[in-house]
Each structure stands twice: as structure tokens, then as C-alpha cells.
Amino acid sequence: MKITFLINHDLASTSALNILLPKLEEHELCLFYTQKANVASSIEPLVELSEFEKKLLENERSSRSNKPLLSIEKLGDIYCKTCARANEINSNDFDIIQSTAPDLIVSIRHMTIMRERIISLPKFGVINLHSGLLPQYQGVMATFWAMLNQEPDIGTSLHYISDSNIDTGNILRCSPVKCDYQKSYLYNVLRLYKPGAESILTTINSIAKKEVPSARKQIGATSYYSFPTLLDLAKFKDEGRQLFDERDTKPYVNLLRNL
């Protein structure tokens, strides 16, 4: 099966791909990533979070470990027919995505709202791993908002993308995880991607066997969240929460190497 991954160039996506790609070697894989500033690029605490993630990724790139966390580029070299940056998949980069003739598109943290011509490319559809429990936590930084709302559980939702609405498609699988309020936001986010990756693998294996994956409509109250404001971030900090903490995140990245 031809599978095209659309991901964001960040630590969480890197961790997910380190789990996924070695288990998909029988498929023809292509990988495209977004790497661009977002609307939160001027909010200082979020800038600091982004810089911390970049530092961890750079440290992994130069790691002398026998099993470092492989970079997106290295994963692309080893496992993928094509690996490239594609910031404009609906316009300038559409042709290269189309050229991969995907049977399935898998989206993980991709920073582009897909339009119809991308969505209609793969015969088995587009599936997206959202880092929040749907439909209660649509939008961005769902784990942050769940922690701010003191939810007992965080998690991922694997769902179809059937139109240009955000995080509204039929759900294939939800993977709830108990939130650890003694640890940072980033630590809790990274913990989501092992069960999330397993959801993707289960769905791919089902499709490869010519089975139709079971999916359900989203039911219940919906809430859409955007990037937090400085006031939201200050409240998060006042409640004793941290966006990142080297003391919990570095050991977890070490653990990821062996997943």
C-alpha cells in the first residue's frame, strides 16, 4: 500500500514516526512536513517551548547513544521513497503530493487545513491523529486546555478528515491517558504518541487486509480551542503547571528510543 505521511517538524511528530515507520517497511512510504512559523510565534512562553523542543532534537541529532531518536530527515532516508518539506500542500506543493499516488494519507500534527483536492486523492481517505479527546477538545494544544480545565484524562483521537472543517470527522479510535499533573505539559503531550501510533498501525493493518475500519460520528458537546493567550498561560503557571521541564522531558525522550 502507498502511504503518504503529512506531519509537522517537531518533537512529538518525530517520536511518533520513530515508533511507526520501522513497523511499516512492507508499504511504500512518502513523508512531507510543515516547517513554518505559526500564529503563536510572537507569544513568548510558546516561543520558549518551541526553542526547548528544537534543542532536544538537536541534542538527539548529535547523540552518541547506540539508539538515538532518529530525526525526521534520517527516518525519511531510511524508510521513505520521498521525504521533503511541503508547507503549501493545497497550492504550490500539491503536485508533489499528488505524484505519490497515495492509497492512504496519514496526518500527524500537520499545520495546514486540507482542501478538497488533497482530501480526495487517496482511495482509503485521510486519517488524522489529533492530540486531544474529541469532540470535547477540537483545535490546537488540546492537552494544555485539558490540563488548564483539570481534566483527569488527556489522549489522542484518530479520525477521518472528510472536509475542511477542523477535527470534526468520524472517529476511528480514542486513546485516553491519565494526565500526570506532577509533570509538564510537554511531557504529557509526548506520552500520547505511543498509544496514538498504535491506533494508526491498527487502522493501517486493517485497511491492508481489505477490511473497512469501524468509525463513528462525533457525539456530545463540542469545544474548539485556539492558541492560549498570555493570560491563559499566566493562569496555567499560577496553578503550578509548567509548559516544559528538562527534568521530566529528557528522561522520557531517552525512553522513547526503546519504544
CB atoms within 10 A of CB 121: 20
H or E element that contains 155: strand 153-161
pLDDT digits (tens, 9 = 90+) for 122-138: 999 999 999 999 999 99
Query: How confident is residue 259, by pLDDT bands cut at 50, 70 and 90?
Result: low
Q: Give pLDDT, residue 192.
A: 96
Q: In which element (H, E) is residue 174 found?
A: strand 171-178
The pLDDT of 11-34, averaged and rounded, is 96
Does the pLDDT value for residue 257 go beyond 90? no
Residues 139, 221: Cα–Cα separation, whole Å: 14
> Is the per-residue pLDDT at 49 higher than 90?
yes
The percent of residues in the chain predicted with pLDDT above 70, rounded, is: 95
What's the grid cell of residue 32?
Answer: 512531507
Q: For 44-53, which contacts have Cβ atoms below 8 Å and span 24 or more sequence positions?
A: 44/230, 45/230, 45/233, 45/243, 46/227, 46/228, 46/233, 46/243, 48/243, 48/244, 49/185, 49/186, 49/243, 49/244, 50/10, 52/186, 52/244, 52/246, 52/249, 53/10, 53/11, 53/186, 53/244
Interval 187-227: pLDDT, tens: 999 999 999 999 999 999 999 999 999 999 999 999 999 99
The contacts of residue 156 (CB under 8 Å, 6+ apart) are: 129, 130, 131, 132, 133, 174, 175, 192, 193, 195, 196, 199
Give the sheet arrangement for strand 153-161, strand by strand: 82-85, 28-34, 2-8, 104-108, 126-130, 153-161, 171-178
How would residue 69 be classed by pLDDT, with cut points 50, 70 and 90? Answer: confident
Take residue 51 and report the three cell numbers written for it. 526553542
pLDDT at 96: 96
109 in the Ramachandran plot: left (φ > 0), alpha (ψ -120 to 50) or beta? left
Residue-range domains of the chain with CATH: 2-256 (3.40.50.170)
pLDDT of residue 251: 81
If one counts every other C-beta atom within 10 angstroms of the C-beta of residue 41, the result is: 11
| Average predicted confidence (pLDDT) for the chain | 93
- Contact between 145 and 187 (Cβ < 8 Å): no
Report d(CA 106, CA 101) in Å as an integer.
Answer: 13
Higher pLDDT, 11 or 253: 11
Percent of the chain with pLDDT over 90: 85
Q: How confident is the model at residue 37 (pLDDT cuts 50, 70, 90)?
A: low
